[in-house]
Structure 1
Amino acid sequence: MRQEAWHRRGQCGKLVCMAQLAMTSARWDELTALLNDEQRLQSEYPKVAEYLDMATRLPGTGDANTDAAFDLRLVHFMTGGSDVSSNPYWDIVEPFVFEHEGRRVVNGGRAEGSARLAFAQMVLQATYAYAIPSPQTIEWISRFCADLPIVELGAGRGYWAAQLSRSGLVVEAYDVEPPDKTKNTSFPGATGQADVWHPVNDLHGFATRAQVADHVLFLCWPPGWGDTMSSEALTSFEESGGRRLIYIGESKGGKTGNDAFFDALTARWRLDSVDPHFVSWWTEADVAQGWVRK
């Protein structure tokens, strides 16, 4: 079944797909062998197998070539490791980013996206990060930080921390449930994928470290729905003398942050910069903002 589906999705043509991905013939042969071996794919890359099984049952964009190209990129970058990409998340979604109502969103060229792309979003967010770290956003953060080190709280797998570190910034990442040390329901472990992309310490490590006044606080998709994590992190940062904050998430009343967090920003902080090139999933309303203390 998967072999037949793979060939159907490959109707865009071997040479076209290879050109789009700058893929060698040897890599194409590796992928073909993997996808033709049901047992091996399930054993070595169960999340990729799950995606391919589900994708055949879900409506796509309506353009078979677009859907085929997306599936190929997902398989290639999720199974190729660091040999094929240092930022696989971006490399998977980048060709499917379109302008929509003044925003850059991953929607495959359709305002309403597709059920297949929505399922891919769930897979990629659990594998990498909830927000998409495009190279332009990494550059924007680097400019905002002006060489100051970063402390990221709620770092998840440390995927953003890894991208920022590669850009030359010094990043310390912390999470209440580091995925390589304990069970994290937002970032579950699976064979064939990295538990973390950058060292992620627990909150005990954060509590015992030195003050962070000379750092930039980075909060990327802090939990919402009344969770106090974001407001507590901001209060602690303020008390230490911190003056620069990067926030990636939705506005007040959205899926990220709590009311106290946004109230504190309004009362004691000034919005200094917004990334105009930030890329979001079409289903989300997140933004990238740089704040400075009033």
Structure 2
Amino acid sequence: MPDTATSCRSASPPLPGRNPYWELVERLPWESDGDGSPPQPYARDRRTHCAHYSWAIPTPSTLRWIRQAVSRPVLEVGAGGGYWARQLQQLGMDVLPTDAVARIGGWTPVRLCDAEQAAATHPNRTLMLCWPPSVNEMAARALTAYRGPEVLYIGEPAGNSCATDAFFTTLDRQWTPVAHPTGHINWWGTHDTVTLYHRRPSPRPEAR
């Protein structure tokens, strides 16, 4: 989505808790893609569900893992309607969801803010990106602007439907994957994972 807003202000009213996305997914047929991997939820109208909730499925076990693994409050950029943020907030986490595009309705208040600006402003929070777009450099700019020590990335690997080569190049060069949950569930035909990264120490200058 475009990442053009320059100011930060709140949008979207909160809605009561539960996890209706997961409740929907549990009722769907689950199919294997034939490569021996576990069955995955399948729906012809998957994109409709993704647009309403999120591209990634926040299962209860993945949400609990994030609560245990992440060491600090969270800043989510490109949060959309804030579904993942709301689910984590229900578990007691301090999550600040932001997005460059205001939405009518939503799952929790989402602060209208450019991703790069938000990332630069909140180095004390873990930077969270969930299925960042591959059609612009939002994710790469946010990661470059961020000066904190921890990133939570939810999405597909390089060369698929998330982020750009610039984002993954920075991630590979400056960050180390330190943890990921077991048994994360994604839609049939997609390959998203949940990975926690820590910033690599800056190389020491050579002694002369």
User: How high is the TM-score relative to the length of structure 2?
Assistant: 0.80
Report 1 or 2 for greater relative contact order, CA contacts < 8 Å, sequence distance ≥ 6: 2
Q: What do residues 191-241 of structure 1 show as CA deviations (whole Å, max 9, x unaligned)?
A: xxxx2111111115983798322210000000014x10111010011xxx3
CA displacement at 1:118 relative to structure 2: 1.8
Distance in 1 separating the partners of 2:115 and 2:173 = 30
Equivalent position of 2:193 in the other structure: 287
Equivalent position of 2:63 in the other structure: 138
Distance in 2 separating the partners of 1:262 and 1:210 = 19
Instruction: Give the alignment partner of residue 44 of structure 2, picking from 118, 129, 134.
Output: 118
Distance in 2 separating the partners of 1:229 and 1:217 = 13
Distance in 2 separating the partners of 1:288 and 1:209 = 19
Determine whether 1:106 maps to 2:41: yes
Contact 2:73 2:95 in 1 (8 A): yes
Equivalent position of 1:110 in the other structure: none
Contact 2:116 2:141 in 1 (8 A): no
The alignment partner of 2:81 has SS state of coil
CA displacement at 1:278 relative to structure 2: 1.2
CA displacement at 1:283 relative to structure 2: 2.1
How do 1:6-17 residues align onto structure 2 when only pairs under 5 Å count? none
Instruction: Give the alignment partner of residue 83 of structure 2, picking from 159, 166, 183.
Output: 159
Determine whether 1:234 maps to 2:154: no
How do 1:1-294 residues align onto structure 2 when only pairs under 5 Å count? 82=16, 86-96=18-28, 98=30, 100=32, 101-103=36-38, 105-107=40-42, 117-119=43-45, 121-146=46-71, 148-180=72-104, 195-203=105-113, 207=117, 211-225=121-135, 227-237=136-146, 241-294=147-200
CA displacement at 1:173 relative to structure 2: 0.7
The alignment partner of 1:279 has SS state of coil
CA displacement at 1:143 relative to structure 2: 1.4
Q: Which has the larger radius of gyration?
A: 1
Distance in 2 separating the partners of 1:160 and 1:134 = 10
User: Counterpart of 2:132 in structure 1: which amino acid?
Assistant: P
Change in Cα spacing, 1:276 to 1:228, as seen in structure 2 (3 Å) is: same
Change in Cα spacing, 1:270 to 1:95, as seen in structure 2 (3 Å) is: same
User: Counterpart of 1:279 in structure 2: which amino acid?
Assistant: I
The alignment partner of 1:291 has SS state of strand
Change in Cα spacing, 1:244 to 1:104, as seen in structure 2 (3 Å) is: farther
Change in Cα spacing, 1:209 to 1:125, as seen in structure 2 (3 Å) is: closer
Q: Which runs of 4+ in 1 moved over 6 A?
A: none
